[in-house]
A and B are shown apart, each in its own frame.
Chain A
Amino acid sequence: MPADVTNTGTACPQCNRRRFTNLGLGSIAVASVGSAIFGYEFLTPNVLYEPSPIVDAGRPERYPAGSVTPDTQNGLYIVHGPEGIYALSAVCTHLGCVTAWRPELDLIACPCHGSKFHIDGVKIEGPAPRPLPWLKAWLDDEGNLLVDRSEVLTRKQFVRVLA
């Protein structure tokens, strides 16, 4: 029996099996796309209860000239070099381990896969693809040193406190 003569009733003269199938498949296609979007939106959290990317590093006087202060909790170093204070990310650019400052070697070393960095973030050796990024650091109105871990500096900036 051809598909277009399956309709014997008069209530819906344009109905036939092909039309019904296409309508069904079309509905399933629309529902699939909708489910995919719904699923993606559902799996993406709209509110994150994660620590703020901005870290209060306290009074800049805490960091004497020539010092490297690791903050393993927040994954950064506060370095007071000859040109001023800067914040360096301690998160290895290889696979995200927190690196360690090794004062006896005068370098930063990653415990996971052996990357080594100078204290300005430049890589010495190891699998890390990029240098450790410099993070935006500034003084707030009370004179506390703040670091924004979500903001990577593209060129070097130093914080200097005038005595």
Chain B
Amino acid sequence: MNGIWSRIRHTRVGRSIFRSGGGDNNLHRSLAIQQNVFLHLASVKIRRPALDFGVTWYLGTLSAASFAILVITGVLLMLYYHPSVPQAYADMKDLQFVVSAGVFLRNLHRWAAHAMVVLVFAHMFKVFYRGAYRPPREFNWVIGVMLLLLTLLLSYTGYLLPWDQLAFWAITVGTNILSAVPAMGAKIRFLMLGGHTVNANALLRFYVLHCVILPLIAAVFLAVHFWRIRKDGGLYTGPQATGGKPHE
């Protein structure tokens, strides 16, 4: 298997795709990471302690994995969902009772969403209590806070889409809290709902926010978040890695 892969890598087509070619030494290994647009976000080298369960409990990876599950199941759900009144509710019922594997995808999306909120919070606490936010990682903490907010906003905008009683009143209450913002609260609420009440415009706006705008922003922040782990010297594995002193 390894031989076949190596041979493909060394053909003209293989070399045009994977410019680093093959090879068993460290230079080739690091080039393979650096010259790949996806892999270059990660470090070319990882210290073995960074892979220990106790260091991270893998919470960041698990958060990212739940995001991936949400993107895949979400795109599939979009194929059967019309963001219109009252069709949205009927589509959700169809997903539950008519569409093959619909109830599985919907529940997977829902539980992954709950899991992502829990995991992101747990990840934040783990980073905080281990002191992994300290220099030079301060700004990655800030990006993490942005990602927490995006997670909550994605969760909230998705809440309206089933268009049932729970969704309607949750968004009514939530956007009324929004209107408590001084001076421009009512205006923000109006722009967010596209009207004075939670109605067809609000459903469409929340749909676009949930399925396009917020995931795109989250993906950009995720890329920066991962890339900065590499730039900040890999995962924080504890004070012993820097001789008892925080990274400077």
**A positions within 8 Å CB-CB of B:** 40, 43-45, 48-50, 94-97, 112
Contact = CB atoms under 8 A, between A and B. Distances in A.
A97 B172 contact: yes
Interface string B196-224: 11011100000000000000000000000
A96 B176 contact: yes
Given A44-B191, A50-B197, A97-B172, 19 more contacts: A40-B191, A43-B191, A45-B194, A45-B195, A48-B195, A48-B196, A48-B201, A50-B195, A50-B196, A50-B199, A94-B176, A95-B173, A95-B176, A95-B177, A96-B172, A96-B176, A97-B169, A112-B169, A112-B173
A108 B176 CA distance: 20
* A interface: dominant SS: loop
A48 B196 CA distance: 9
24 contacts: A40-B191, A43-B191, A44-B190, A44-B191, A45-B194, A45-B195, A45-B201, A48-B196, A48-B201, A49-B199, A49-B200, A50-B195, A50-B199, A94-B176, A95-B172, A95-B173, A95-B176, A95-B177, A96-B172, A96-B173, A96-B176, A97-B172, A97-B173, A112-B173
A97 B200 CA distance: 18
Contacts of B197: 50
Give the interface size class of chain B: 10 to 19
A143 to B, nearest CB: 30
Nearest to B187: A44
A95 B179 CA distance: 9
Interface of B: 169, 172-173, 176-177, 190-191, 194-197, 199-201
Contacts of A48: 195-196, 201
A22 to B, nearest CB: 31
A49 B199 CA distance: 9
Contacts of B195: 45, 48, 50
A76 to B, nearest CB: 14
Contacts of B172: 95-97
A114 to B, nearest CB: 13
Contacts of A112: 169, 173
A48 B200 CA distance: 10
A21 to B, nearest CB: 28
Contacts of A49: 199-200
Nearest to A113: B173
A41 B169 CA distance: 28
Contacts of A43: 191, 194
A44 B194 CA distance: 7
Nearest to A44: B191
A97 B169 CA distance: 7
A44 B201 CA distance: 11
A18 to B, nearest CB: 33
A4 to B, nearest CB: 39
Contacts of A45: 194-195, 201
Contacts of A96: 172-173, 176
A48 B193 CA distance: 11
Q: Which 6 A-B pairs have the closest CB atoms?
A: A95-B176, A95-B173, A96-B176, A96-B172, A43-B191, A48-B195
A91 to B, nearest CB: 9
A45 B196 CA distance: 11
Contacts of A97: 169, 172-173
A97 B173 CA distance: 7
